[in-house]
C-alpha cells in the first residue's frame, strides 16, 4: 500500500512529511484535538514525535506543555507518551492510561472529566477555549480532499471544523473496507437554531460517510501503518457470568410484564469485562433481532452480530481485541451493512437515547445504599478513568442499569457502601443495580425502600450485617428521615480502608 492508493488528493499529497516534521509545527501552549476513542483511531506517530520534542525542550529548561483533547481514552503512544514527559497541561474528556492516571492523581496534570456527548458542543459554545491544532487519523483521503474516517469517529468532525490547523495521519493499517461504514451528521447547529435530529431507528443513516476537511487548513500529512491498541478481554469469570445471568433474567421478566418488547430495546453496553460478559450472556440467551445504540463496539457485540442475534449496531468506535479485530477485518465489507460509526455527539446524544428507549448497562466503582453511583473516583479522590458516556446514557435511558462485583480488592472493599465517596450518577438516574449477589430493581422506590433492596439483594454477605446495622442506626438517629445518614460515620468505611484495614 502506498500513499498514492490512500491519498488521492494531490493537494494533500503535496503536504506529506514525516512525524518529526509534523510535530515541529505544534508549538507549546496550544490546545490540540486528537482523534482516538478507546484505543481505536488515535494518531500513532505525531504524538510520540511531539513527546520527544517536549522532552528535549524540558531538558533545556523550557516548560513545553499542551492541552490534549480527544474523543475518549487512547493508547500508550498518545496519552502514555505525552504523560511520560509531563507534556500535558490539561487533559479532557476521558482517559484510562496508567501514566496519565498517575500524573493526574499526583496533582501534576489537570484533568477535565466530561460527559462525552457534551465535548463537541462545548467547543462550539466556546466554553473550552480555542482549539489550535487537530491531529486526526484517517483511513484515506479522497481526490476532493474529503476524509475516510478511521476505526473511531469521536470528536473528529468538530476538531476538523474548529481547529485553525490540521495534521492528518493516514494509516494504511486501517482496512480500506471501512469506507462507507461511517455516518457523519452535519446538521448540528448552535441554539437557538437547533432542529430535531432525524434519527428514529438504530440503523438510520442521517449524514455522510466522509469527514469534510478544508485543505487550506492542512499543514501536514503523515503516513503510518500501525495497528490500533487492541486489548484482550478476560474470559467472563464466575462473578461476571452471574451478573449477566441476573440481567438476562430481569429482561425476561420485563418482557413477560409487557414493559419490554420481545426483541428488547436498543442496548448500550459500557466499557470493561463485565459489559463484555453481559454480551456473551445475551449470545446464549433467548432474545433475537436485537439492536445496539452504544458508544463502543466490544468483542461480545461482534459475537452477537456474528451469531445473528444482533441485527445492527451503532457506535462511535471499535474497542476490540486483536483476535476479534482480525475477524472483523477479514469480513468488513459484510459487517459494514450492520455497523454504523457516528460522531460521539450523536452516538451519545440525550435526545436520541431518550427517543430510542436505550437500555443502558454500565460498570461502576461503588454504589451507596440509596442508589447513588460512583463511576470514577477510588476512595473519593483518586480518578480511575472518567465518566465517559455513562452519564449520557444513564440519565436518558429507558432503563438504566449499573453493575459491579459486590466486592473489590480480594474482598477488602465493599462496592455497596453507606455513602458513595463520590457521586457521578445520582439516585434519580439509577434504576437497577446488579452484583453477582443479585439485582435490585429500584424503580418506584423511595430512598428508604431502595436501601433495603440494595443491601438485601446486592451487598456481599460479608458486609451485609454491617450495612444493615448502619442503616438501622441511621434510621433511628439521623436528623432527617428522607435519606437517613450518620454523617460522622457515613464515609468511615472508606477511611478504614485508607488507614490500611478492611472496609
Give, as ranges, the residues between 367 and 386 that touch ligand COA (CB under 6 A): 375, 378, 384-385
Which residues, 6+ apart, have CB-to-CB distance to 131 below 8 Å? 31, 32, 33, 69, 123, 159, 162, 163, 164
Distance CA 44, CA 129 (A): 26
* Binding of residue 483 to ligand COA (CB under 6 A): no
Binding mask 269-308 for ligand COA (x = CB under 6 A): -xxxxx--------------------x-------------
* Of positions 33, 207, 371, 389, contacts ligand COA by CB under 6 A: 389
Distance CA 122, CA 392 (A): 15
Out of 137, 161, 169, 295, pick the active-site residue: 295
Distance CA 482, CA 370 (A): 10
Compare residues 210 and 493 and give the one whose CB is closer to ligand COA: 493
| C-alpha closest to that of 79 among 89, 91, 93, 62 | 91
| C-alpha closest to that of 182 among 212, 154, 155, 208 | 208
- Residue number, nearest CB to ligand COA: 363
Compare residues 307 and 381 and give the one whose CB is closer to ligand COA: 381
Least distance to ligand COA, CB of residue 384, Å: 5
* Binding of residue 436 to ligand COA (CB under 6 A): no
- Backbone phi and psi for residue 200, each to the nearest 5 degrees, phi listed first: -120, -10
- Backbone phi and psi for residue 134, each to the nearest 5 degrees, phi listed first: -110, 135
Tell me which stretch binds ligand COA (CB under 6 A): 8-16, 125-133, 388-396, 477-485.
388-396
User: For residue 37, what is its C-alpha cell?
Assistant: 476513542
Per DSSP, the residues of 196-245 read -----STT---SBSSB---GGGEEEEEEE------PPPPPP-HHHHHHHH
Least distance to ligand COA, CB of residue 433, Å: 13
- Whether 295 sits among the annotated catalytic residues: the reply is yes
* Binding of residue 364 to ligand COA (CB under 6 A): yes
Least distance to ligand COA, CB of residue 159, Å: 20
* Of positions 194, 201, 409, 443, contacts ligand COA by CB under 6 A: 409
Distance CA 160, CA 348 (A): 20
Distance CA 66, CA 88 (A): 5
Least distance to ligand COA, CB of residue 328, Å: 19
C-alpha gyration radius of the chain: 23
Least distance to ligand COA, CB of residue 164, Å: 31
* Of positions 17, 142, 248, 408, contacts ligand COA by CB under 6 A: 408
Distance CA 334, CA 329 (A): 10
Compare residues 158 and 362 and give the one whose CB is closer to ligand COA: 362
* Binding of residue 421 to ligand COA (CB under 6 A): no
- List residues near ligand COA by CB under 6 A: 270-274, 295, 362-366, 375, 378, 384-385, 387-390, 405, 408-409, 413, 415
Q: Indicate which residues carry an active-site annotation.
A: 295
Amino acid at each position: 500500500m502506498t500513499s498514492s492508493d490512500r491519498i488521492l488528493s494531490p493537494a494533500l499529497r503535496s503536504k506529506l512529511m514525516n512525524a518529526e516534521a509534523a510535530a515541529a509545527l505544534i508549538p507549546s501552549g496550544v490546545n490540540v484535538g486528537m482523534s482516538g476513542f478507546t484505543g481505536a483511531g488515535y494518531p500513532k506517530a505525531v504524538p510520540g514525535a511531539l513527546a520527544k520534542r517536549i522532552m528535549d525542550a524540558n531538558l533545556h529548561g523550557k516548560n513545553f506543555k499542551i492541552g490534549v483533547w480527544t474523543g475518549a481514552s487512547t493508547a500508550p503512544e498518545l496519552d502514555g507518551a505525552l504523560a511520560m514527559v509531563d507534556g500535558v497541561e490539561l487533559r479532557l474528556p476521558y482517559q484510562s492510561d496508567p501514566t496519565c492516571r498517575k500524573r493526574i492523581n499526583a496533582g501534576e496534570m489537570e484533568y477535565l472529566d466530561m460527559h462525552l456527548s457534551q465535548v463537541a458542543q462545548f467547543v462550539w459554545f466556546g466554553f473550552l477555549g480555542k482549539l489550535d491544532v487537530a491531529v486526526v487519523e484517517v483511513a484515506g483521503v479522497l481526490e476532493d480532499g474529503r476524509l475516510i474516517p478511521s476505526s473511531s469517529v469521536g470528536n473528529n468532525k468538530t476538531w476538523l471544523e474548529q481547529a485553525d490547523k490540521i495534521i492528518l495521519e493516514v494509516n494504511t493499517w486501517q482496512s480500506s473496507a471501512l469506507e462507507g461504514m461511517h455516518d457523519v451528521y452535519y446538521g448540528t447547529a448552535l441554539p437557538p437554531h437547533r432542529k430535531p435530529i432525524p434519527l428514529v431507528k438504530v440503523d438510520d443513516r442521517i449524514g455522510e460517510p466522509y469527514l469534510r476537511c478544508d485543505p487550506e487548513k492542512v499543514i501536514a500529512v503523515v503516513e503510518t501503518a500501525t495497528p490500533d491498541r487492541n486489548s484482550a478481554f478476560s474470559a467472563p469469570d464466575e462473578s461476571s457470568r452471574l451478573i449477566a445471568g441476573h440481567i438476562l433474567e430481569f429482561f425476561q421478566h420485563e418482557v413477560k410484564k409487557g414493559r419490554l418488547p420481545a426483541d428488547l430495546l436498543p442496548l448500550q453496553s459500557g466499557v470493561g469485562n463485565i459489559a463484555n460478559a453481559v454480551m456473551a450472556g445475551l449470545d446464549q440467551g433467548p432474545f433475537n433481532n436485537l439492536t445496539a445504540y452504544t458508544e463502543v463496539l466490544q468483542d461480545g457485540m461482534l459475537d452477537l452480530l456474528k451469531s445473528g442475534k444482533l441485527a445492527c449496531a451503532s457506535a462511535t468506535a471499535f474497542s476490540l481485541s486483536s483476535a476479534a479485530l482480525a475477524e472483523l477485518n477479514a469480513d468488513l465489507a459484510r459487517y459494514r451493512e450492520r455497523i454504523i460509526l457516528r460522531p460521539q455527539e450523536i452516538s451519545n446524544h440525550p435526545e436520541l437515547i431518550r427517543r430510542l428507549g436505550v437500555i443502558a448497562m454500565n460498570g461502576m466503582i461503588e454504589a451507596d445504599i440509596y442508589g447513588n453511583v460512583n463511576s470514577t473516583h477510588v476512595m473519593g479522590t483518586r480518578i480511575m478513568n472518567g465518566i465517559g458516556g455513562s452519564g449520557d446514557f444513564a440519565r436518558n435511558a429507558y432503563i438504566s442499569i449499573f453493575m459491579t462485583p459486590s466486592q473489590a480488592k480480594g474482598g477488602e472493599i465493599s462496592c455497596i457502601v453507606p455513602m458513595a465517596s463520590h457521586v457521578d450518577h445520582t439516585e434519580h438516574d439509577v434504576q437497577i443495580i446488579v452484583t453477582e449477589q443479585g439485582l435490585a430493581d429500584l424503580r418506584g422506590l423511595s430512598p428508604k425502600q431502595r436501601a433495603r433492596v440494595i443491601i438485601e439483594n446486592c451487598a456481599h454477605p460479608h458486609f451485609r450485617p454491617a450495612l444493615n446495622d448502619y442503616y438501622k442506626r441511621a434510621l433511628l438517629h439521623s436528623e432527617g428521615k428522607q435519606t437517613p445518614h450518620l454523617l460522622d460515620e457515613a464515609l468511615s468505611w472508606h477511611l478504614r480502608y485508607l488507614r490500611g484495614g478492611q472496609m
